[in-house]
Amino acid sequence: MEGSEIAARRICVVTTSRADYGLLSGLMRAIGEDDGLELQVVATGMHLTPEFGLTYRDIEDDGFTIDRKIELPLPADSDAAVSKAIGIGLVAFADVFDQLRPDIVVLLGDRYELLSPAIAAFVARVPIAHIHGGETSQGAIDEGVRHAITKMAALHFPATEAYRQRIIQMGEDPERVFAYGAPGLDALHGMHLLTREELASMLGREFESPIAIVTYHPITLERDTAGGQIESLLAALLQEGVGAVFTKSNADAQGTVINERIAAFCREHPSRYGLYDNLGRMAYLSCLQHLDLVIGNSSSGLIEAPSFHLPSVNIGDRQLGRVKAASVIDVGNSAGEIASGIRQALSPSWRAGLKDVHNPYAGPHDGSVSVRIKDQLKHAELGERLLKKRFHDVPDPVGDSSLPREAIR
């Protein structure tokens, strides 16, 4: 009809923590600045807990309106508590999506909290766009969560071509899988990071090299290992004389064990070690710019650190199977192995080779990943064709791909 206006497409972005918000904020801004789109924001999980700094306020400080806040019983330090949080979240997200009526729901990553909006959107026939699918983390329940969301999602935005191929191997239509790179790296093309002096002032401490930024999460497919593993990490830091800026572990089972031990360690050695509830994106990236190395088992050591040509000592199995730059040093969980990795990372001769290191997650290197994702969300054809996914069979090298493997003899 002449004079009528086409309603803006409603894109609902769900964020659970400081970590995924830092990766989503560029996409959220791109959606909000597009007249053809309406941004909806739902904050949940660690964003709403005082222990993790009430980081929903960071979202609001950046100028975004949070349409709904969904509180979950976090931190969860037992398997039962995690399951209950998922159930409570599912009930809440069913109501939220019924009220907001989004056209597409955007989920990033593999936190267990994301199962709630994924199931609610899937049942409500709202297409899911999943970012950072296709990855592996064989030591954590994140592995199963990530792949479950992939099978419920209609659009996929993996960070590398290897992950794109893995999603296709899972039966997803290649025409709906777009490997543009990691959207969180867009910020490096426009953000003015803090100087070393500004960072020291913000953190309230002087930097005495060598100093690392350390994040250590529980290995959630292992039982009761967090205490021993964090002790090994702390022992290695003392042995090698490395100071540290610690960020808190996630609200996973055994996460409280890690956070409490780190807090006690920092009280015992206040001049060289500090624990921070929430650094924020600016301060965190500034740490990558100015500190000497990354230590722990966070994906940040694989995704962001290589863009700063910064060595990363990656501990244990939590990130096992992920694509890694040459700047990543894989070590075991013992104090001796961690100490050996730290010595390699601090070796001048080894570090000299990092000046030309390639970050496999960097995509086109032009800060446009978020915009490219936004454009796909804007122009994707909605309706039954998007929701009714066909299973894409990958050609079987041993025979007829139209037959199930068990039928091939």
Q: Quick: pLDDT tens for 112-151.
A: 999 999 999 999 999 999 999 999 877 667 889 999 999 9
224: pLDDT confidence band, cut at 50, 70 and 90? low
Residue 361 resides in a domain: no
For 175-213, write each residue's pLDDT tens digit: 999 999 999 999 888 788 999 999 999 998 888 899 999
Higher confidence at residue 218 or residue 325? 325
Mean pLDDT calculated for residue range 311-333: 92
Same domain, 163 and 30: yes
Cβ-contact 179, 362 below 8 angstroms: no
Mean pLDDT calculated for residue range 340-351: 96
Reported as half-sphere exposure (CB side, CA atoms, 13 A), residue 19 has a value of 24
Higher confidence at residue 5 or residue 312? 312
Residue 187 resides in a domain: no
pLDDT at 6: 77
CA-to-CA distance for 359 and 181, rounded, in angstroms?
A: 10
Give the bridge partners for 276, in sequence order.
247
Same domain, 117 and 205: no
Strand, coil or helix: 293: strand
How many Å from the N-terminal Cα to the C-terminal Cα in the chain? 61
Output the average pLDDT for the chain.
89
pLDDT at 79: 79
Mean pLDDT calculated for residue range 65-79: 82
pLDDT at 404: 43
CA-to-CA distance for 387 and 128, rounded, in angstroms?
A: 9
Question: Which of 36-45, 300-309, 397-406 comes out lowest in average pLDDT?
Answer: 397-406
Same domain, 153 and 246: no
Residue 402 has pLDDT above 50, yes or no: no
**Residue 333 is inside which H or E element, if any?**
none
Residue 37 has pLDDT above 50, yes or no: yes
Residue 359 resides in a domain: no
Strand, coil or helix: 147: helix
Higher confidence at residue 251 or residue 35? 35
Residue 39 has pLDDT above 80, yes or no: yes
Cβ-contact 215, 302 below 8 angstroms: no
Same domain, 263 and 156: no
Task: Tokens for 397, please give them.
Answer: 């090298």
Same domain, 119 and 164: yes
Same domain, 151 and 243: no
Same domain, 158 and 215: no
Residue 262 resides in a domain: yes
408: pLDDT confidence band, cut at 50, 70 and 90? very low
Residue 81 has pLDDT above 70, yes or no: yes
Residue 342 has pLDDT above 90, yes or no: yes
Residue 406 resides in a domain: no
Same domain, 218 and 248: yes
Same domain, 174 and 260: no
Higher confidence at residue 4 or residue 168? 168
Choose among 159, 175, 44, 178: nearest CA to 109.
Answer: 159
Per the structure, the count of domains in the chain is 2
Same domain, 172 and 287: no
Same domain, 220 and 344: yes
Residue 261 has pLDDT above 60, yes or no: yes
CA-to-CA distance for 218 and 330, rounded, in angstroms?
A: 17
User: CA Rg, the chain, in Å?
Assistant: 22
367: pLDDT confidence band, cut at 50, 70 and 90? confident
pLDDT at 16: 94
Same domain, 373 and 334: no
Residue 299 resides in a domain: yes
Q: Which CATH number goes with the domain that contains 372?
A: 3.40.50.2000
Mean pLDDT calculated for residue range 215-238: 82
Residue 220 has pLDDT above 80, yes or no: no
Choose among 58, 49, 64, 121: nearest CA to 92.
Answer: 121
Q: How many CB atoms lie within 10 A of CB 71?
A: 15
pLDDT at 358: 92
Residue 394 resides in a domain: no
CA-to-CA distance for 384 and 380, rounded, in angstroms?
A: 12
Residue 1 resides in a domain: no
Residue 363 has pLDDT above 60, yes or no: yes
CA-to-CA distance for 80 and 85, rounded, in angstroms?
A: 9
CA-to-CA distance for 27 and 164, rounded, in angstroms?
A: 20
Q: Which domain holds residue 263?
A: 195-354
Task: Tokens for 395, please give them.
Answer: 């050609």
